[in-house]
Structure 1
Amino acid sequence: MLMPYTSIREAADEIHAGIITPTELVLETLEQIDEADGEIQAFVNVIREQALQDAEQAEREQRTGLYRSPLHGIPIAIKDLIAVKGFPTTASSKVLANNISAEDAMVIEQLRKAGAIIIGKTNTFEFAYGPYAPPTRNPWDHTRTTGGSSGGSAAAVAAGMTLGAIGTDTGGSIRIPAACCGITGLKPTYGRVSCYGVIPLSWSLDHVGPLGRSAEDCAILFDAIARYDPRDPNSVSGPPSRPAATLIEGAEGRGPLSLQGLRLGIPRMLL
């Protein structure tokens, strides 16, 4: 069973309208994980207590009128190559079973600034060095592969156990799982998303990027994580891109990304 929300945008609209709270959304997400992940095995670590605490904080902020972004209060899953402070980052390897991250990866810092809630760490092939993510099963057919080393992230999104996820791509490990699981994945331009705090496979080929149920969801996630980072020597400096706004408003749009714009539903470029 998929969660009732089909996109980050729709969940953000519900939160902004007061129809659902971040805590209620996180509880629904955890319920879906409990229901589905025993079979799918997308997660290696579900961050329950911290996610609920972060949801309560998001609610307090929103009651004061603070609205960080369309990700404010939205649960996001993270591939277990990416450091989340205070929690294991194992790369799905027994060698790193006790490796507790001392700080957040840069991409996690940016997600937190946007108000996203980290719901858990997802399975990968050991050190991402493989074409699938055992023991994760494809949500559509448990006899099929999820593809690529970001298979846990893709399966979690496809099964409705998260509204979005972050993966890594060195030779197809975002794009292939997205295709195998029937969702959308984005391998960004090299250097647009910092790899600081991410266990490397090949430093000159590694990319960090979003997975979501639609191009719009990936654009919203990319808006949040694409920032220059001086700690990553390959990070690209320059003005931030606005892919979500461009998707909604068209290439000539000038207005800021907002829920009002997101409610348009159909990008102007397609009208």
Structure 2
Amino acid sequence: MALTRREFNTLLGGAAASAALSPFGSALAADSSELTSLSLTSVAAAIRAGKATATQAVQACLSRIDIYDPKLDAFITVMKDKALAQAAALDAEQKAGKFRGPLHGVPIAIKDNIDTAGTLTTGGSALFEDRVPGVDAPVVASLMAAGAIVIGKTNLQEFAMGGGETSYYGPARNPWNLAHNTGGSSSGSGAALAAFLSYGALGTDTGGSVRMPASYCGIVGLKPTYGLVPIRGILPLVLSLDHCGPMARTVADCALMLNSMAGYDKFDITSAEHAREDYVAALSQPVSGFRIGLPPSYFDGLEPDVAKAVDEAVAVLNKLTKGSKEANLPSITSRPSLGALGEYMAYHEQYVKSSAAKYMLPERRRLEAALAAPPKAADYVRAKWDLELLRRTIDDSFNGFDLVVCPTQRIVAPKLDDLITRAYSTTPSNPLVTSNCSPFNIFGLPSISLPCGFSKSGLPIGLMISGPKFSEGKVLALAQAYEQATQWHLRKPALSPKMVVPAVVKGA
């Protein structure tokens, strides 16, 4: 039986009922906490060594989901029965001497805009509240072929159209402070990982939707090179900018997931042919010869806590590498619109015309405006030409440096109330530039966010490392070198079964 998040909360009736109804009992609490605290790489090794079973790993995650998901709204659908059945099958295979692959028995979560066969895939929208795909998205099939177990579908901004504050299922909460945003649109994936509800997760990234939650939730998120990971079977936002990437608690975990996710799909028009690489092996390459570029404009307008944390992170990186220098990347501010609304409408036009009332108000306003004044075809084609030329030449910018480093977000996670109020305002002001993520979607370059500090209020701060096309190995290697030289990734949010969930302002 798969339960939607609304059904799940109704059944549990809060944290007290959750503890009483848990099928695993309180005796497992200490063991499950210890097991879920392991990284994805560590739990995979423990299962392979016979020190834990797939069933124990799934039960441990489900136990924490029972307690904490009613407070975090990280999941839309919890796939309890399917996950336990798959775990039992994998445990039986292991006893028979068979291993599916490097992720054998590891529970992961899938963002709910990525198709899963026989399980709801809603896009966080009432429009698709009954949508059940018949087949898995190729990226899900690849992870399951490697032995991963899908434990549930995570919450997101409706159709991935924003920062995580509007979802038909309610906004996901940041485990570091429940009144704050998790980042979007992969909001539930970020919350689930920070709260130790799963070992890894899939997110999608059109303008930062993997890296923003990674920054705000204190985890690791990788946006690969455009086309490296197939996106067929994922609800599109802007196909020219859409990416799918791994999210986890360590850099090595993301590398292990990427090994099973990358690959060419001839039926995916965005897919790129690229020789298979071993990203886990790439982690061991020396970084002492790397040269770092610091793009000045990406350091403008930083909150003081962010500026301090990133300055300290750059100082660490300077000791690990050949050092850093100022670097320039192409400006995108003077380029014409990339036709994002046109690509929104290529998918949503039929639904806006027939079922506009089923969209959340902020998304409905945006789509109805695009329907009323669609981009001119010629403008869209010129924008596409411009995008293609930029992507063909972007690697030329890496002249005198190997990778670029900058803050992921210029601010720490804002309050949900502020974001919801803004989203539903009839006269929204122009937003400040708070994210450094979207240029790398336009460039199509690999880009990772990982923790580099915390604000005085205890909210995580993210560092972003990016490189030329298909330089995931170098990006991951430098990220891991920094991770191992610091301890930010070891911090955990102070969650409690008794913590009070603050109310948030209601949308119009």
TM-score (norm 1): 0.90
Letter in 2 for 1:199: L
Give the alignment of 1:1-271 within 5 angstroms: 3-4=33-34, 5-134=37-166, 135-247=171-283, 249-250=284-285
Question: Retained in 1: the 8 A contact 2:48–2:104?
Answer: no
Which residue is 2:343 aligned to? none
Q: CA RMSD in A?
A: 1.8
Name the CA distance, whole Å, in 2 between partners of 1:64 and 1:233: 40
Question: Retained in 2: the 8 A contact 1:26–1:52?
Answer: yes
Question: Retained in 1: the 8 A contact 2:162–2:184?
Answer: yes
Q: CA deviation at 1:112?
A: 1.0
TM-score (norm 2): 0.49
Name the CA distance, whole Å, in 1 between partners of 2:222 and 2:57: 25
SS in 2 for 1:186: strand
Letter in 2 for 1:21: T
Letter in 2 for 1:241: E
Letter in 1 for 2:201: A
SS in 2 for 1:119: strand
Name the CA distance, whole Å, in 1 between partners of 2:285 and 2:100: 23
Q: CA deviation at 1:119?
A: 0.3
Give ranges in structure 2 of 5+ residues lacking alignment: 1-28, 288-479, 486-508
C-alpha spacing 1:114/1:33, structure 2 compared with 1 (3 Å): same
Structure 1 outlier segments of 4+, above 4 Å: none
Question: Retained in 2: the 8 A contact 1:132–1:151?
Answer: yes
Which residue is 1:255 aligned to? none
Give ranges in structure 1 of 5+ residues lacking alignment: 253-265
Deviations 1:5-38 (A, max 9, x none): 3311111121122111100110111001001101
Letter in 1 for 2:220: T
C-alpha spacing 1:3/1:206, structure 2 compared with 1 (3 Å): farther
Name the CA distance, whole Å, in 2 between partners of 1:204 and 1:29: 35
Determine which structure has greater relative contact order: mean sequence separation of CA pairs < 8 Å that are 6+ residues apart, divided by chain length.
1
Deviations 1:160-214 (A, max 9, x none): 0000000000000000000000000000000000011000000000000010001
Name the CA distance, whole Å, in 2 between partners of 1:231 and 1:118: 24
Name the CA distance, whole Å, in 1 between partners of 2:281 and 2:85: 30
Name the CA distance, whole Å, in 1 between partners of 2:213 and 2:262: 21
Answer 1 or 2: which has greater helix percent: 2
